[in-house]
Amino acid sequence: MMILTVAGKKKNYPERLTLPALIEQEAVENPDYVTVTINDAFVERGDFAQTILKDGDTVEFLYFMGGGTV
Amino acid sequence: MPFTNEQLERYSRHIILKEVGIKGQKKLLNAKVLIIGAGGLGAPAALYLAAAGVGTIGIADADEVDLSNLQRQVIHTTADLGKAKVKSAAETMTAINPDVKVNTYRTFVTSQNIMNLIAGYDFILDGTDNFPAKFLINDACVMAKKPFSHAGIIRFRGQLMTYVPGQGPCYRCVFKNPPPKDAVPTCKQAGVIGAMGGVIGSLQAMEAIKYIIGQGKLLTGRLLTYDALKMEFHTIKLPRDEHCAVCSAHPTITKLIDYEQAECDMKK
Ligand SMILES: [Zn+2]
């Protein structure tokens, strides 16, 4: 097991978890359009699949949000 | 110009704050803020900025007040149905505070008009509902070196960040390009709690006020998110994208772009 901080919450995750697996596990909405930072650095979409999370990583999901007028 | 007795009284709760004082209130009265979108976010922001005595407030919106707006757009009333939103908003703002000069622009922002619209303003507030407008406002503000507040709301969630030239990432650093039309739902498609506009729009007004009086820490390099169901605020650190298409040293976007609107949100 390893500890990740995901969206501000520390939790246990299995070792060698990939970013796409985390996105699925966290039920990220509209996963094709989410922006991800790991340890305050952007992850390029093309690098998602090869990204393996390490113990202590901080992961954030940033969502498109419209809204306002209409 | 010295304050009148009426102004001293009206702004007394500001003036008593050491972060504002007479000096800060003067700055507010001399400030010019443009609000793009007189809707869920723009309505509460406009009310608070007018009440605060921001001397010149521009408001841009092409729409008329519709019955479905009144659940959240608190600057308009039932009596305003069918009226241009900018007119209805201006009337409420001047009724709250006759010190405020309101400039109304009954138009949607486009690549053609946005540079002229923002030119005379110190701070821009993005209260629009769609990604083409959000990217347009970002790019125009980056190009014109204008600070602005981005915000978005949907369902029970909201977010905002502040861009100040040279002080951190722009909206495009984080979100790169608008999502394809209809890929990400808008408020109209997904719904939103009216009070969400109140929370996030008021935070945008707060950022504008802090910027004007030069106090505190702005949301530059940070995205503040709010989840009403969990009743949690969360701050996400935002890096700058060294290769950002618009705000980097070698931008690839040097002309404003009118992206296509989501079809379901097109006006009939
Ligand atoms: Zn940028």
Query: Which residue of chain B comes nearest to A6, CA vs CA?
Result: B236
Domain boundaries, chain A: 2-62
Superfamily, domain B31-237: NAD(P)-binding Rossmann-like Domain (3.40.50.720)
Chain mean pLDDT for chain B: 95
Q: What is the complex's ipTM, to 2 decimals? A: 0.93
The CATH number assigned to the domain with range A2-62 reads 3.10.20.30
Asked if the Cβ–Cβ distance from A65 to B63 is below 8 Å, we say no
* d(C-alpha B35, C-alpha B46), whole Å: 7
Asked if the Cβ–Cβ distance from B186 to A41 is below 8 Å, we say no
Rounded to the nearest 10 degrees, how much is the dihedral formed by the CA atoms of B146, B147, B149, B150?
60
pLDDT of A70 above 60: no
Q: Are B154 and B192 in contact, with CB atoms under 8 Å apart? A: yes
- Alpha carbon B21 to its chain centroid, in Å, reads 25
Neighbouring-strand partners of residue B104:
B59
**Residues B123-144: what's their mean pLDDT?**
96
How many residue pairs bridge chain A and chain B with CB atoms within 8 Å of each other? Answer: 101
State the pLDDT confidence band at A37, using cuts at 50, 70 and 90.
Answer: very high
The predicted-structure confidence for B1-37, as pLDDT tens digits, reads as follows: 789 999 999 999 999 999 999 999 999 999 999 999 9
Probe site for chain A from B236, B242, B266 (most A CB atoms < 10 A): B236
* Residues with CB in 5 Å of ion ligand 1: B 170, 172-173, 244, 247
pLDDT of B120 above 80: yes
* d(C-alpha B103, C-alpha A16), whole Å: 57
Partners of A36 on chain B (C-beta within 8 Å) are none
State the pLDDT confidence band at B190, using cuts at 50, 70 and 90.
Answer: confident
pTM for this entry: 0.95
The predicted-structure confidence for A1-28, as pLDDT tens digits, reads as follows: 999 999 999 999 999 999 999 999 999 9
State the pLDDT confidence band at B186, using cuts at 50, 70 and 90.
Answer: low
pLDDT of B266 above 70: no
